Amino acid sequence: MARLISLLVAVLALTPCICLAHSRALQASRVLLDGREVEKEYDYIVVGGGTAGLTVADRLTENGKATVLVVEYGQLSNSPSITTVQGGFSGMSDTQFLYDIQSVPQSNLLNRTIAVLAGKVVGGSSAVNAMMTVRAAAADYDGWGSFFGEGSHWSWNQLLPYFKRALNFAPPDEAVTKLANITYDTNFWGDTSSVYAGWPSFQYPGTTAQMEAFRGMPGAPFVKDSGSGEPGRSYARTGHHDRAISRWNYHLVTGSKVTRIALNGTTATGVAFVPVILAAGGIHSPQVLQLSGIGPRKLLSSANITTIVDLPGVGQNFQDHPMIQASYTYRRFNFRPSPNDLFLNASFAAWSEEVWASNRTGPNSIATGNAAAWLPFPVVSPRAADLSSALASQNNTLYLPPGTDQTVAAGYRAQMLLHAAALNSNHTAFYNLVLTGGPTNGILVDLHPLSRRTVAIDTADPYNREPRVDYRALSNPLDAAIMADLVRFTRRYHLENPLTTSWAAMEMAPGLETQTDEQFAAYLAETLSPSEFHPAGTCAMMPRELGGVVDQQLRVYGVERLRVVDASVFPTLPGGNTCQPVYAVAEKAADLIRYGASKGVEQPC
């Protein structure tokens, strides 16, 4: 592999203007860890030191040979809001580690704007997320490969080794296993990664009751294994950066924003051939491509950016999990202790602090969403077959932005056919209810939204402004019908379930007056959060004729030596939280880069 190229010649333009790029790079090099300066040559440059970027950089430097520079906009931080577990929400509420982005007003949500959360720190979103670790159903990953037809090397079976490589499984302790009725199967887990996953060392007894009460709902499946957190945040920085930093061949530069990838013709480069690995996340990877002249021609020309590759899918096919409020309060829920005791019972709160401080155990070892239900749509909705055929017979294109490229529309159609099948299948989950273990519950998630959103550079000032994020919430009208059924099921679980009647649940939201699809649509307009902070799909791994941006090797179509390896390549969202799938995809990406599609053959990027 050739060693290459001076950063000072703007291999990556750290700012839009080449001359500024010089000073930015020099300035940034001073904060390079270890006091090392940015070298003149690297084998690979990774844009974004987040979840995927640090994973790939760690793997590529493992052999002690290939040199890698990671360029990250955020800083290294040991702030307690990152390292503290309790609530899991600490990082996400500390704005210094988040981008400051508001979505465009949502026409179907009474013109509300929505905060777009993404991590801006070494570790990326894995440093600020809520630490639920979920893998989603095999069918979701088989769907990814299906877009490429027979012989694709993307499927559940072919991703499973990377799921195993991605996380190091820590089984729950015996007391917790018994109390919470936890089952697991170590065949599905690995023990080599430096990113750890496990259970909290404490469980509220109410959580077990809430889980078990799903046995009162006909057809709700109980599976042996799913997954979840060790005490302390284990994330891409601790699991990958901290390992790689002692290697001579791994460099990280922080506080440096990459605005554009320099191209010579259609090769990612300055004067020679430096492979670039884009890992800026679902919101920023499409932005960087668009600023580099790779994207929908019409958008680029309205920003006066010369189109180098007209790639209509860049920034299209944007997906995220909508969060629906379905809030219940139980008048009689006699499981103690409960999470409310952290506020109501001073001695319980003091004990929690003490065992956390001395042993990293107890309630404070629980992050958000410690337990949740994941159910297929036919179990949830009596009209699953009807909604499935409505989606299949719908003119899906009507629900994309006007003027959407035909290839992108064709890809949307292919995805909607897959979702239509999934709506009537028991092999993937559509319904996700987060369980608290206490007398209030409220977060409900639609795992396979149909509406497709967009991320586009702000043509008024593309280099200096954050991209325009349009969630296009509820733009496919079947989303509202599906979500209505998710709430209706939650209502039945709480109010018509023999195993929950003794809790005397009250529906706080939406309220029993909300009954018809129209009433649900109005409720969703007022309250829906279109994002669970899982941005994906904006540089989709799909065939180019289906609006794809990267091929199965994650190489950007029409460009040499440029790959995307983060959540933006997911063609469709897995039915689960996205961090674990990002790690697995990044592990696979590292092998594709090191060995090529057929293992063992070393190939340039």
Ligand X SMILES: *[C@@H]1O[C@H](CO)[C@@H](O)[C@H](O)[C@H]1NC(C)=O
Ligand Y SMILES: Cc1cc2nc3c(=O)[nH]c(=O)nc-3n(C[C@H](O)[C@H](O)[C@H](O)COP(=O)(O)OP(=O)(O)OC[C@H]3O[C@@H](n4cnc5c(N)ncnc54)[C@H](O)[C@@H]3O)c2cc1C
In the annotated binding site for FAD, the residues are 121, 258
Q: Does 359 bind ligand X (CB under 6 A)?
A: yes
Residue appearing with tokens 């639609």? 446
Strand spans (E) along 165-249: 168-170, 196-198
Q: Does 92 bind ligand Y (CB under 6 A)?
A: yes
List binders of ligand Y among 72-91 (CB under 6 A): 72-74
Q: Which H helix or E strand runs over 267?
A: strand 267-268
- Whole-angstrom distance, CA of residue 183 vs CA of residue 177: 7
Q: Is 424 helix (H, G, I), strand (E, B) or coil?
A: coil
Exposed e or buried b per residue across 528-552, where buried means at least 16 C-beta atoms within 10 angstroms of its C-beta = bbbbbbbbbbbbbbbbbebbbbbbb
**Residue partners of 439: CB distance under 8 A and separation at least 6:** 206, 329, 330, 331, 333, 338, 340, 503
Q: Does 131 bind ligand Y (CB under 6 A)?
A: yes
Q: Which of 5, 44, 69, 124 binds ligand Y (CB under 6 A)?
A: 124
On the question of a cis peptide bond just before residue 510, with omega within 30 degrees of 0, the verdict is yes
Residue appearing with tokens 């668009």? 290
Q: How far is CA 368 from CA 71, 76, 89, 130, 430, in A?
A: 30, 24, 7, 6, 20
Q: In what order do the strands lie in the sheet with 323-330?
A: 371-375, 431-435, 440-446, 323-330, 505-509
Torsion, Cα 376 409 118 555, to 10 degrees, reads: 110
Part of the chain binding ligand X (CB under 6 A), chosen from 25-33, 246-254, 349-357, 546-554: 349-357
Part of the chain binding ligand Y (CB under 6 A), chosen from 125-133, 222-230, 372-380, 451-459: 125-133
- Whole-angstrom distance, CA of residue 130 vs CA of residue 342: 19
Q: Does 388 bind ligand Y (CB under 6 A)?
A: no
User: Apex CA 486: angle with CA 103 and CA 501, to 5°?
Assistant: 130
Part of the chain binding ligand Y (CB under 6 A), chosen from 316-324, 477-485, 495-503, 575-583: 575-583
Binding track, positions 549-568, relative to ligand Y; x by CB under 6 A: -----------------xx-
DSSP-derived letter for residue 38 is: P
Q: Which of 13, 119, 420, 552 binds ligand Y (CB under 6 A)?
A: 119
CB closer to ligand X, 420 vs 565? 420
Binding track, positions 263-282, relative to ligand Y; x by CB under 6 A: ----------------xxxx
- Whole-angstrom distance, CA of residue 463 vs CA of residue 27: 19
CB closer to ligand X, 93 vs 359? 359
The item of ligand X, ligand Y, none sharing an interface with residue 128, based on CB under 5 to 8 Å by kind, is: ligand Y
Q: Which of 348, 493, 520, 523 binds ligand X (CB under 6 A)?
A: 348
Least Å distance, CB 26 to ligand X, is 21
Q: Does 378 bind ligand X (CB under 6 A)?
A: yes
Q: Does 264 bind ligand X (CB under 6 A)?
A: yes
* Rg for the chain, CA atoms, rounded: 24
Q: Is 135 helix (H, G, I), strand (E, B) or coil?
A: coil
**Residue partners of 336: CB distance under 8 A and separation at least 6:** 205
List binders of ligand Y among 40-69 (CB under 6 A): 47-53
CB closer to ligand X, 380 vs 554? 380
CB closer to ligand X, 2 vs 110? 110
CB closer to ligand Y, 399 vs 533? 533
Q: Which of 29, 90, 106, 126 binds ligand Y (CB under 6 A)?
A: 126
- Residues of each annotated binding site: 121, 258
- Whole-angstrom distance, CA of residue 117 vs CA of residue 100: 8
Q: Which of 424, 441, 529, 572 binds ligand X (CB under 6 A)?
A: 424
CB closer to ligand Y, 467 vs 543? 467
The item of ligand X, ligand Y, none sharing an interface with residue 348, based on CB under 5 to 8 Å by kind, is: ligand X
- Whole-angstrom distance, CA of residue 373 vs CA of residue 376: 10
- Whole-angstrom distance, CA of residue 64 vs CA of residue 249: 6
The item of ligand X, ligand Y, none sharing an interface with residue 516, based on CB under 5 to 8 Å by kind, is: none
CB closer to ligand Y, 120 vs 468? 120
Binding track, positions 281-310, relative to ligand X; x by CB under 6 A: ----------------------xx------
The item of ligand X, ligand Y, none sharing an interface with residue 280, based on CB under 5 to 8 Å by kind, is: ligand Y
Residues at the contact surface with ligand Y, assessed by CB under 6 A? 47-53, 71-74, 92, 117-120, 124-126, 128-134, 257-258, 279-282, 284, 288, 533-534, 566-567, 577-580, 582
Residues at the contact surface with ligand X, assessed by CB under 6 A? 107, 110-111, 181, 208, 212, 219, 264, 271, 303-304, 336-337, 345, 347-348, 351, 354-355, 358-359, 378-379, 395, 397-398, 424-426, 459
